[in-house]
């Protein structure tokens, strides 16, 4: 039997305790020496680098777009009310476009077939461009008669349209108020989705209505011809694009819309 095999187990324990005591003594001595140095030279402590805080963007990047349940913070900007659409190319379909027949200008975007980047069909779903509260939903809309339509055109053609007449020209509508105070107006609708009523909250991307031609000559005639969506963005008493040239509207719209 070797000498190592004759060492009893208790000696191993004593050896481990001795090593532990030695290491602890060295660490304590170093710590006390450092404390003494800082007390003798306070400026050294002030010069010590402070912990670096995590950048604020770290927390924000962990947030995701809010869905039906809300909760998370959604990115700034609006979705197009027709998924896949783009800013109209024709200046006549942009806010601020001239409307000679009523001596005024358009107050919103007109998404029409051939100029919206996607096909536009009667009855196509219209989605909420952002999360907000419904403040108007024309669920009981009644189309004008052809005689009423002719009278309205004669009235706006002589001296321009007032707020009430413009409201009729937008046809069936849904209005939505956003948390920042802006109001979105969706016009020319063929219908309002079941369950969309004043006072409810909707999430971005939720279907709120359907493309139509209400308030137009085609709608008054009872046809589904020339369907379109009229979309206005209001901040107080000013509409998005007011006073801007077409290229300026497109430039601002490029950062206004973020999808889908």
pLDDT recorded at residue 1 = 47
Domain shared by 131 and 239, yes or no = yes
Q: What is the pLDDT of residues 198-227, one digit of tens each?
A: 999 999 999 999 999 999 999 999 999 999
Residues 9, 110: one domain? no
Q: Has residue 33 been placed in a domain?
A: yes
Judged by average pLDDT, the poorest of 1-5, 124-128, 131-135 is 1-5
Is 63's pLDDT higher than 50?
no
DSSP string, the chain: --HHHHS-HHHHHHHHHHHHHHHHHHHHHHHHHHHHHHHH-HHHHHHSPPPPPPPHHHHHTT----BTTB-SPPPSSEE-SSTT----SSGGGSTT-EEGGGTEE--SEEEETTSSSS---TT-EEE-SSSEEEEEE-TT--PPPHHHHHHHHHHHHHH---HHHHHHHT-EEEEEE-TTS-EEEEEEESEE-TT--TT-EE-TT-EEEE-B-TTSHHHHTT---S-EEEEEEEETTEETTTT--HHHHHHHHHHHEEE-
Residue 61 forms part of a structural domain: no
* Domains in the chain, number: 2
Residue 150 lies in a domain: yes
Does residue 52 belong to any structural domain of this protein?
Answer: no
Q: Are residues 40 and 85 in the same domain?
A: no
Residues 66-120 have pLDDT tens digits of: 444 333 334 479 999 999 999 999 999 999 999 999 999 999 999 999 999 999 9
Q: Is residue 97 part of a domain?
A: yes
Domain co-membership, 90 together with 36: no
Q: Is the pLDDT of residue 51 over 50?
A: no
Q: Where does the pLDDT of residue 260 fall: very low under 50, low under 70, confident under 90, or very high at 90 and above?
A: confident
**What's residue 234's pLDDT?**
98
Q: Considering the domain boundaries, does residue 147 fall inside one?
A: yes
149 and 35, same domain (yes or no) = no
15 and 123 both lie in a single domain: no
pLDDT at 62 over 60: no
Residue with tokens 């706006």: 156
Q: Within a domain: residue 56?
A: no
pLDDT averaged over every residue in the chain:
82
Contact 211, 229 (CB under 8 A): yes
The pLDDT of residue 40: 46
Residue 54: inside a domain: no
Tell me the CATH number at 175. 2.70.70.10
Least trusted range by pLDDT, from 56-60, 88-92, 99-103, 144-148: 56-60
Q: Are residue 105 and residue 228 in the same domain, yes or no?
A: yes
**Domain identity same for 173 and 224:** yes
Domain that holds residue 27: 3-47
Regarding whether 43 and 90 lie in a shared domain, the answer is: no
Is 70 exceeded by the pLDDT of residue 38?
no
21 and 91 housed in the same domain: no
Query: For 154-203, how does the pLDDT look when each residue is reduced to its tens digit (9 = 90+)?
Result: 999 998 999 999 999 999 999 999 999 999 999 999 999 999 999 999 99
Residue 72: the pLDDT is 36
14/134 same-domain check = no
CA atoms within 13 A on the CB side of 128: 25
Distance CA 130, CA 73 (A): 12
Are 116 and 16 members of one domain? Answer: no
């Amino acid at each position: 039997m070797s000498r190592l095999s004759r060492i009893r187990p208790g000696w191993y324990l004593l050896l481990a305790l001795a090593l532990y005591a030695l290491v602890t003594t060295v660490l304590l001595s170093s710590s006390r020496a450092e404390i003494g140095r800082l007390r003798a030279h306070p400026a050294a402590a002030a010069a010590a680098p402070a912990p670096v805080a995590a950048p604020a963007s770290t927390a924000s990047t962990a947030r995701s777009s809010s869905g039906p349940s809300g909760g998370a913070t959604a990115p700034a900007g609006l979705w197009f009310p027709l998924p896949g659409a783009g800013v109209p190319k024709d200046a006549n379909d942009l806010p601020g476009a001239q409307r000679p027949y009523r001596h005024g200008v358009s107050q919103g975007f007109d998404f029409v077939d051939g100029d919206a980047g996607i096909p536009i069909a009667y009855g196509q779903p219209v989605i909420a461009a952002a999360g907000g509260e419904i403040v108007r939903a024309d669920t009981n809309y009644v189309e004008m008669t052809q005689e009423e339509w002719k009278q309205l055109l004669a009235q706006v053609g002589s001296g321009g349209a007032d707020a009430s007449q413009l409201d009729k020209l937008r046809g069936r509508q849904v209005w939505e108020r956003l948390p920042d105070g802006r109001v979105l107006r969706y016009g020319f609708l063929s219908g309002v989705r079941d369950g969309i009523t004043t006072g409810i909250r909707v999430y971005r991307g939720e279907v709120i209505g359907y493309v139509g031609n209400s308030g137009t000559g085609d709608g008054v005639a009872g046809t589904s011809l020339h369907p379109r969506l009229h979309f206005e963005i209001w901040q107080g008493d000013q509409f998005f694009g007011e006073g801007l040239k077409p290229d300026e509207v497109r430039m601002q719209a490029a950062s206004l819309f973020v999808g889908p």
